[in-house]
Amino acid sequence: MTTPSPASNLSATIIKSRPELNLLSPEWNRLLQQSEADSIFLSWEWITSWLDTASPSSVLSVVAVHDDDGHLVAIAPFYLSSLHFLGIFHYRCLRVLGDCNSGGEYPDIMVLPNLEDKAMRIIAMALASSKCEWDCAWIPNIAGWTGAAGRFIAVFGQSNGFFRKRACSFSALKLPGSWSEFTHSLSRNRRSVLQRQEKKLAMAGIIVVERCERDDELPHFLEALFGLHKKRWQKVGQEGSFVRRPKMVDFYRNFAQKAFSNGWLALFSLKINGTEYATQYGYLYNGVYLQLQEGYDPAGPNGSGNALRAEIFRWCIERKMREYDFLGEHTPHKANWCAVERLGWQFFLGRNGFKNIPLNLLKIWPTGRYLYPPE
C-alpha cells in the first residue's frame, strides 16, 4: 500500500456492528504494525478473541478513518459499556476494546504517523458528533512512553466537559546481552537468595523447566496455570483473577490458541520429579516478553517461582529479547529483579451535560463503590 500524503482527504465512520468491524480485518494488523500503538493488546486476534469470549455483548463504537482511496489510516477502537452512580444515574461509558477480563494493558489509537494530527481531528469530530452516543470515557493503563496519552487527549479535546488524569505505574527490565551480565546486575543479597533456593530445590529432586511447544500440550499447560494461580491466591485468602472472572478463563483458552499459532505464546512450567510446582504465562511480541500471569504451589518447595522466572530470563536473553515487561504496578519484588518503574496514566472524562455534573463536582473515579459497572 502507498502511504497517503498528509494532504489526503480523510473521512470517519462510526462502526457499531460486528459485521462492519469484520470488514476491517484485512487492514487491521497492517495499520497496527505501522503505527506507534503497535501492541499485542490491540491486535486483531486479541480484539476478536475478546469479543467472542469475554465480552460478546459489547456495543461497538469504533471510529474508522479512511483516505480518498478507501485505505484504512486510523482506528479508535472504542466500545460502550455502562456505569451506575449510586444506582440512580446510568452512564454510557466509552472504553477501549479488549481492556477487561483479559489482562490487556496499553490502550491506544492506531494511526499512520504521517497523518496523526489530521486523523486525530477527524476522530475528535466523530466523537463530538451526535452519532457517537456516550456520556463519559474511562481509559486506564495508558503507557506514558508511546505517545498514547497525547493521542487520547487530542481526540477527546472537543468533549468540552471534565477531563481528569492520574498517574499509574508499570514495571519493565531491559535485558542485557548475556546471562552473566544479568546475574552481575542483581544485588549481592538477591544473588545469595537465589543460590540458596536453587540448592534447596536441587535437593528436592530432578528439576525440569518446560515450554509449551506443541498444540496438543496447550490444554494441559493452561489447566496447570489456572490451578496453580488459584493455589497461590488461596494461600493469602483471595480467589485470584481466574476464579473471580470466569470470562477471563474463556478468553485465555481462546486467545492462547491464536497466540500459539502466531508464535506469540510463551507458556512455561517448572516440574520437580514430574510434578508441576510453578507456571508462568506470557507473550512474545516485537522483541518483548510480556508477563501476564503466573502461579505456584505454596505447599511445594520454596523458591520454585523464582527459579522459573530466572530460567525464563535466561531463555529470553539467549533469544536476544530486548525487554521483559512485568506490566502494571511496580513492586519491590520486581525491583529485586532490576526492573525499572515507568509511568503511565488513567483518564476519566465526560461530555457537557446535566448527568455529568455530579461526576465533575465530586471528582469520582469509576473504581470505587459509588461509580461502578452493572455486574
Q: Considering only CA atoms, which of 94, 107, 99 is closest in space to residue 134? A: 94
- 259 grid coordinates: 497466540
Residue 221 has what pLDDT?
A: 97
Residue 2 has what pLDDT?
A: 59
Backbone angles phi, psi at 181, to 5 degrees: -65, -40
Residue 7 has what pLDDT?
A: 59
CB 288 within 8 A of CB 140: no
Q: Give the other-Cβ count within 10 Å of 101's Cβ.
A: 20
Q: Which residue has the cell 485470584?
A: 240
11-168+346-372 — its CATH code? 3.40.630.30
**Helical packing angle, 116-128 and 148-155, nearest 10°:** 40
Q: Residue 68 forms beta bridges with which residues?
A: none
- 10 grid coordinates: 480523510
CB 312 within 8 A of CB 122: no
- 121 grid coordinates: 481531528
Residue 353 has what pLDDT?
A: 85
Q: Give the other-Cβ count within 10 Å of 162's Cβ.
A: 17
- CATH 3.40.630.30 range(s) for the chain read 11-168+346-372, 176-321
- 113 grid coordinates: 504517523
CB 242 within 8 A of CB 54: no
CB 35 within 8 A of CB 3: no
**Helical packing angle, 218-234 and 246-261, nearest 10°:** 140
Mean pLDDT by 10 residues, the chain (375 residues): 70 96 98 98 98 94 96 97 86 95 96 96 91 90 97 85 94 96 93 90 91 96 96 91 94 98 97 95 98 95 93 97 96 95 96 88 84 69
Please report, rounded to a whole number, the percentage of residues in the chain having pLDDT higher than 70: 97
CB 312 within 8 A of CB 289: yes
- The DSSP code sequence of 286-332 is TTEEEEEEEEE-TTS-TTHHHHHHHHHHHHHHHTT--EEEEEE---H
* C-alpha 207, offset from chain centre: 32
Q: Which helix (H) or strand (E) holds 139?
A: strand 136-143
Which CATH number among 3.40.630.30, 3.40.720.10, 1.20.120.1200, 1.10.274.10 corresponds to the domain 176-321? 3.40.630.30
